Structure 1
Amino acid sequence: MSDGDDVGRLLIVLGGVLVSAVLGAVFFLVVPGSLADLLGVVLTLSVVVLGARGASRLADSMFPDYNAAEVAVEGPITRDGSTPGPLPGSMGATADDVVERIERADEDEAADALLVKLDTPGGAVVPSDDIRRAAADFDGPTVAYATDVCASGGYWIASGCDELWARRGSIVGSIGVIGSRVNVSELADELGVSYERFAAGKYKDAGTPLKELSADEREYLQGLIDGFYDDFVERVAEGRGMDPEAIRDTEARVYLGEDAHELGLVDDIGDRDGVEDRVGDLLDAEVSVREFEPERGLADRLRGGVAAVAYAFGAGVAGVVGDDERGFRLRF
């Protein structure tokens, strides 16, 4: 950014503050003479703050001081940000918000490159794929980098970027699928609870926890898992430019960053400065990064960090096949 841009930004911000101060004084101090002076001062300062924020945004749009955008994906990925399971109410990555930020960065003429910060064990299947598609559609270089955890759905997202970087101690991988169900049929028998089936379709209640699985139901559910796994492997192999068999050979294990690099699951090892240097090489310019944040309140952006780390070892991308009462859960 040139010195002229610096001066232009400063003038816009100072102008916005001055105009806001004058308007606040006129409306809240001069005109309503009956108002208490203290209330007038508070309202004036509020208008000044709002004016300064507006002026700052205007200055950013007219004289951007960045050429790369950063979008973070943190915590388990769901559609609405809520995390089901043992820690209900904790917050994860809201897929729609992440996609909106990536698309906003793509539309921003100043953002020539995209950094995707990944600290996630995965999450719901379709929301994770929405984020991956948005990153893949970004018009410019895209570099994903793992901090603590880039597992399962997080790795799926990374496969849509041009490169993936990790720290030596990052947890990377978990390219696999798991299906699970709670079987309480014996407990139901002991309690005198019986299960009566009223369903249209042979497999409508496959996986319900109140009855034992039949052999053909097991085969049906395993088929779902195999299908999801094949799709997962093909997507990752295509995005990473790897042999699908090499992906299968990982057997859904997680690896430390350095080991993942040796296996070809990660392009390079480095910290945030190294990632920025790489983006600078791709742009052939000095890099300045702006983080694109969700357009919502701070409370809604709180992440369930402890839940994310614990969930990482559970194999990532979680989706429910069918209704909640059916009991069968499928996760990538």
Structure 2
Amino acid sequence: MDYPRLLGRLLNRAHLVTPDRARLMLGVLASRAGLSGFLVDDTSPQPEKLDVLAADWNGNRPDRKIYRVENGMAVLPVSGTLVSKLGVLDPWSGMTGYDGLMTKLGEALLDDDVKGIAFDFESPGGEVHSQLFELADMIAGSTKPTWAICSDYAYSAAYWLASQCDHITVPPNSGGVGSVGAVCLHTDMTKAYENAGVKVTVLRAGARKMEVNPYEELPPDVAKEIEAELEVLRISFAEQVAQGRGIDLKAVLATEARTINSDEALQIGFADELMTPSQAFAAFAAEISKPASGPAGGDTTAQHIGGSTMAQNKPTRGKRALADDLVPDDADAAEDDEEDDGGDAPEGGKKPSVKDETDAGDDEGDGKSAGARERKRIASIIGSNAAKGRGNLAQHFAFNTSMSVKDALAALAAAPKGGAGLADTMASAGNPDLSPSAPTPGEQQAVEASWASSFKRVAG
């Protein structure tokens, strides 16, 4: 095993993995300089390589399949740490490769014997890599029903993938999902080298060359940059979960990367049903065995959306919820028309990112999409020092207004910390009371909107 290469893939890079697994991986690498044993079991059979298996395939689709098919379901195991370019199809030595899952999913989508695709999850997450994003897009765009069946848990990057499926089941009592966040590990070996009598000198051409390394302390400004990048990644992750599950982005972010137990997952929309794995596989098999029906057959109790046929009389999330949101009823359409005619959207709801004049010079010609700029703006506001102790107001500025980062931080800095101080300030200004006895949450939103509006008038 190439120890330096594996260590390089683990350290100083963002990972979507639970902290426990991150510590485990680091501990194993740090204690095994030869890297034999735990991470790679040299006594286990060598897996078949992707290129070897690919050579067995031809245009006639041989009988041999690269996945297990049960009752019309292609079963794709997702277990252990998720990594890029593992080079094998199946989980091996505690790891599952994005590349193997992509290969199997692609074949299953073309296989006439496969009526649905079941992802069997038991994973704490893993590497951040373009293959993760590509695989998530493949699942979201599947033309066949997809279920995420948690044998136990699906955390972080694993939940990113699960959230793009049509349906998520979690076992009662022991199951878990979530951990919508990101982590980066940095090893500072300076003290250890000093104790060992070793002094490493880093010579640079370019002030920021190799600014993250184990031979020097991590500079505070570099640590802040990494934290900001992780926050952008967290927001992107949360956006995909919110879209895939059909739930509010703020509700996803409010979990603060916690691991969610099965009961809470059901309550907040992170899962659809509590089932043991055997129950879930049986339910999915029954679902895909139902004959497809539609207007032509006179039966409109089911329809095909996002690759999944689900009964209309059952509350659903995921792609169905998203599809429903994309088709507003007449009342919603009328409201949208009124908002378009009136210009600005109400402060109480989300509105498209509107580029502030003070930021115009920064955005022009940078090649970034509007979505990427908006994610960066949100991350800069809610992840700032000024947001500490003013979390609700920071989220209001980030999600419900188009304020620039500069204006939002100035407003946060001017606002008192804590609910009581803010209530006192608003009371002295003649605004509604924000104390616990406030009549309705709507009045609190009105106060926050008034605060933001007042600041924008003062700031010009």
- TM-score scaled by structure 2? 0.44
Are positions 1:280 and 2:286 aligned together? yes
1:50-93 Cα deviation digits (max 9, x unpaired): xxxxxxx6599xxx9843322111111112449xxxxxx93311
Q: Which amino acid aligns with 1:114?
A: I
1:161-194 Cα deviation digits (max 9, x unpaired): 1111110111211111122211121232333333
Q: CA deviation at 1:149?
A: 1.9
Which residue among 119, 124, 131 is the counterpart of 1:121?
124
**8 Å contact kept, 2:86–2:100:** no
Are positions 1:109 and 2:112 aligned together? yes
Q: 1:216 to 1:74 in 2, by over 3 A?
A: same
Q: 1:201 to 1:284 in 2, by over 3 A?
A: farther
Q: CA deviation at 1:95?
A: 1.9
Find the counterpart in structure 2 of residue 141 from structure 1: 145
Which residue among 256, 261, 265 is the counterpart of 2:261?
256
Q: CA deviation at 1:137?
A: 3.0
1:112-132 Cα deviation digits (max 9, x unpaired): 221111111111122433432
Distance 2:229 2:99 in 1: 26
Which residue among 79, 83, 105 is the counterpart of 1:78?
83
Distance 1:264 1:67 in 2: 27
Find the counterpart in structure 2 of residue 212 from structure 1: 217
Q: 1:72 to 1:59 in 2, by over 3 A?
A: closer
**8 Å contact kept, 2:235–2:253:** no
Distance 2:195 2:206 in 1: 29
Q: CA deviation at 1:249?
A: 1.2
Distance 1:220 1:65 in 2: 48
Distance 2:146 2:289 in 1: 11
Instruction: Name the SS of the counterpart of 1:123 in structure 2.
Output: strand
Q: Which amino acid aligns with 2:113?
A: A
Which residue among 69, 74, 79 is the counterpart of 2:74?
69
Distance 2:282 2:149 in 1: 10
Q: 1:285 to 1:201 in 2, by over 3 A?
A: farther
Q: Which amino acid aligns with 2:111?
A: D
Distance 2:126 2:284 in 1: 28
Q: 1:281 to 1:225 in 2, by over 3 A?
A: same
Distance 2:288 2:169 in 1: 14
Instruction: Name the SS of the counterpart of 1:76 in structure 2.
Output: strand
Any unmatched runs of 5+ in structure 2? Answer: 1-61, 293-460
Q: Which amino acid aligns with 1:221?
A: I
Instruction: Name the SS of the counterpart of 2:93 in structure 1.
Output: coil
Which residue among 132, 148, 155 is the counterpart of 1:151?
155
**8 Å contact kept, 1:76–1:121:** yes
Any unmatched runs of 5+ in structure 1? Answer: 1-56, 83-88, 287-332
Distance 2:125 2:270 in 1: 16
Distance 1:241 1:217 in 2: 36
Find the counterpart in structure 1 of residue 189 from structure 2: 184
Find the counterpart in structure 2 of residue 202 from structure 1: 207
**8 Å contact kept, 1:118–1:150:** yes
Q: Which amino acid aligns with 2:268?
A: L
Distance 1:170 1:177 in 2: 21
Distance 1:120 1:215 in 2: 33
Q: Which amino acid aligns with 1:213?
A: L
Q: CA deviation at 1:280?
A: 2.9
**8 Å contact kept, 1:135–1:160:** yes
Distance 2:239 2:123 in 1: 21
Answer with 111-120 or 191-200: which moved more: 191-200
Q: Which amino acid aligns with 1:162?
A: D
Find the counterpart in structure 2 of residue 93 from structure 1: 96
Distance 1:142 1:93 in 2: 19
- TM-score scaled by structure 1? 0.60
Find the counterpart in structure 2 of residue 16 from structure 1: none
Q: 1:150 to 1:196 in 2, by over 3 A?
A: same
Q: How many residues are treated as equivalent by the alignment? A: 221
Q: CA deviation at 1:279?
A: 5.0
Q: Which amino acid aligns with 1:134?
A: M
Distance 2:176 2:100 in 1: 24
Percent identity of paired positions between Structure 1 and Structure 2? 24
Q: 1:187 to 1:107 in 2, by over 3 A?
A: same
Find the counterpart in structure 2 of residue 327 from structure 1: none
Q: CA deviation at 1:284?
A: 2.0
CA RMSD of aligned residues (A): 2.7
